[in-house]
Structure 1
Amino acid sequence: MNTSTTTMNPAAALVQAQGVSLHYGKKAALRDVSFTIPKGRVVGLLGHNGAGKTTLMKALVGLLAVEGELQVMGVSPRQDRAQLLTQLSYIPDVAVLPRWARVSELITLMAQLQPKFSAERARELLRRTSVGLDDKVKSLSKGMVAQTHLALIAAIDARLMILDEPTLGLDVLSRKNFYEMLIDEWCDGERSVLISTHQVEEVEALLSDVIMLDEGKVVLSISLEDIDQRFVALNHDAAVADAMAAAHPLLRYRDQGRTTSLFDGAPPESLTGLGQRVRPSLVDLFVALTRNPALNNKTSASA
């Protein structure tokens, strides 16, 4: 399997990582990770549980020290964390809001803690939701809490937003409302978002770029515009399956009742006329380029 990485254009980069590694004891959580995030991008960070997504995000906000070169908006996240946090917003996967507080009290608290926070902007964003300023957090649904959290974070005049599974546990409608608010009210062509999620199908249309992690390594870093140029998927009849298999595709899967063979790069010319080219989805690429730890464990157990 060819897992070579295509890096993004480093021009006007908000994040630059080169050879970043991190170990928990003898376990490597990140292994020689390199990628770039330019301004004005919405980047999906994909990986199985344990692939290193949360570790990477914590490193980007200065919570973890790493080996290698890591710069976020021109500074070291670990050494210059106070300066970094004036330009960065972060919602971790364990983020909670105090249940006893009213929404208006949270806005007042944020205004006292974050110099670049706009209370009026937060109230403006909340008017798009069904959350009231007098509502207590404990009275809100999970979806309303997520929207409140996003409104508070999006009201900070930051250049980069990092979201770690922000819609975990929400229903489909709540997730849709969250992402609509994020794209409509925060993304402006200058600021960037890095978002980790397992709901790949739901966010694919929102993303401009994707970074895939597998066992702590970057197996793909690419813009969605470049996916069609690099990856070729041919939808074909069963009669030519053996010929396709002989060319060693990354993945073969069923699509619309026929088999699709996915190649990294152009397949042999002799095959191009044997199938219809289709666009591979992020899910297809994710399955092709990463391993499923659960399946690996089952295989090891049965070996």
Structure 2
Amino acid sequence: MNHLIEARNVSLNYGKKTALRDVSITVPKGRVVGLLGHNGAGKTSLMKALVGLQPVQGDLRVLGMAPSTQRQQLLTDLSYIPDVAVLPRWACVHELITLMGRLQPKFSAERARALLKRTSVQESDKIKRLSKGMVAQTHLALIAAVDARLMILDEPTLGLDVISRKGFYEMLIDEWCDGERSVLISTHQVEEVEALLSDVIMLDEGRVALAISLEDIDRRFVALNHDPAAAEAMAAAHPLLRYRDQGRTTSLFDGTPPEHVTSLGERVRPSLVDLFMALTRNPALNQKQA
């Protein structure tokens, strides 16, 4: 199975509100994919559909299965941490390890204990006495101890400080990603995860604005850093976005601009944040401007 996720013309409606519009994406094995979008863009709806919590229109296959009708079978090979994920505050960590062993046939208690040794969490600790960062690392240790092929994370580090977020992602990449498994991560901390990603999917008002590997970003998009004197010529070439970078203006193009324009600037690598700003619209900002 080359593609762990295959979606073709997938749509999802909540009454009169459309959450996903004709979404078509694929996620191959061995990839770390960032799912980006403003609030309300459809990220959580897509993730819920992938794990069988929301039926959709269109063709959706996850690990070769239909999530809404084969959910029980699917969840033996898929791990999921939702955006409102919580661990029971009354429980001790060792009790959660025991519980996971009873609920998930592919869970390894030995593996979970080994992962917890990377943290400052003790098996005797009660969840209610742990910091947010320690709870997040405990949750990841439990989920990563499942011998799954796909992990779906919806804002897994929301509300954590920088050090806790760094520790979470280091554990994820070092201990779970092995070239065969894939991870789909929804996050607003684009700058922090960019170095971890192999691919990105951007959603804009329920539609796919961009689905591409980071390697192909460098080939497809051209960012030119230029002096103010070249601003008029750059604007005439219709860039996707113009922004300030290190005291100079950068113009971002989809494809190679005309040669006479290219010669006016120095090519720099566009960041995911730059592309995100260029290709998506911020609903909150649009409301303020209305």
Would you say same fold, with TM above 0.5?
yes
Superposition pairs of residues 97-176 of structure 1, within 5 angstroms:
97-176=87-166
- Aligned-pair CA distance for 1:294: 1.2
Match of 1:8 in 2: none
TM-score normalised per structure 2: 0.99
Summarize deviations over 1:117-165 as a string: whole Å, max 9, x none.
0000000000010000000000100000000000000000000000000
**Percent pairwise identity:** 81
Match of 1:263 in 2: 253
Summarize deviations over 1:173-219 as a string: whole Å, max 9, x none.
00000000000000000000000000000000000000000000000
Is 2:15 aligned against 1:22?
A: no
TM-score normalised per structure 1: 0.95
Residue 59 of structure 1, aligned match among 23, 28, 49: 49
CA distance in 2, matches of 1:298, 1:95: 32
Q: In structure 2, list runs of 5 or more residues that go unmatched.
A: none
- Aligned-pair CA distance for 1:273: 0.6
CA distance in 2, matches of 1:295, 1:184: 38
Amino acid of the structure 1 residue aligned with 2:237: A
Match of 1:36 in 2: 26
**Partner SS, residue 188 of structure 1:** coil
**Partner SS, residue 79 of structure 2:** strand
Residue 175 of structure 2, aligned match among 181, 185, 193: 185
Amino acid of the structure 2 residue aligned with 1:225: E
Amino acid of the structure 2 residue aligned with 1:234: L
Is 2:85 aligned against 1:91?
A: no
Match of 1:220 in 2: 210
Match of 1:68 in 2: 58
Match of 1:5 in 2: none
CA distance in 2, matches of 1:83, 1:102: 29
Superposition pairs of residues 268-287 of structure 1, within 5 angstroms:
268-287=258-277
Amino acid of the structure 1 residue aligned with 2:73: Q
- Aligned-pair CA distance for 1:269: 1.2
**Partner SS, residue 22 of structure 2:** strand
CA distance in 2, matches of 1:295, 1:129: 40
CA distance in 2, matches of 1:149, 1:288: 35
Amino acid of the structure 2 residue aligned with 1:120: E
**Partner SS, residue 254 of structure 1:** strand
- Aligned-pair CA distance for 1:295: 1.0
Match of 2:239 in 1: 249
CA distance in 2, matches of 1:296, 1:139: 42
Amino acid of the structure 1 residue aligned with 2:154: D
CA distance in 1, matches of 2:127, 2:9: 42
Aligned length: 290
- Aligned-pair CA distance for 1:299: 1.3
Q: In structure 1, list runs of 5 or more residues that go unmatched.
A: 1-10
Is 2:184 aligned against 1:194?
A: yes
Amino acid of the structure 2 residue aligned with 1:232: V
CA distance in 1, matches of 2:46, 2:144: 22
CA distance in 2, matches of 1:216, 1:80: 25
CA distance in 2, matches of 1:166, 1:52: 17
- Aligned-pair CA distance for 1:220: 0.2
Please report the RMSD computed on the Cα atoms of aligned residues, expressed in angstroms.
Answer: 0.6
CA distance in 2, matches of 1:46, 1:105: 35
Residue 280 of structure 2, aligned match among 281, 290, 297: 290
Residue 77 of structure 1, aligned match among 67, 70, 82: 67
- Aligned-pair CA distance for 1:270: 1.1
- Aligned-pair CA distance for 1:296: 0.3
CA distance in 2, matches of 1:265, 1:125: 44
**Partner SS, residue 226 of structure 1:** helix
CA distance in 1, matches of 2:82, 2:13: 20
Amino acid of the structure 2 residue aligned with 1:235: N
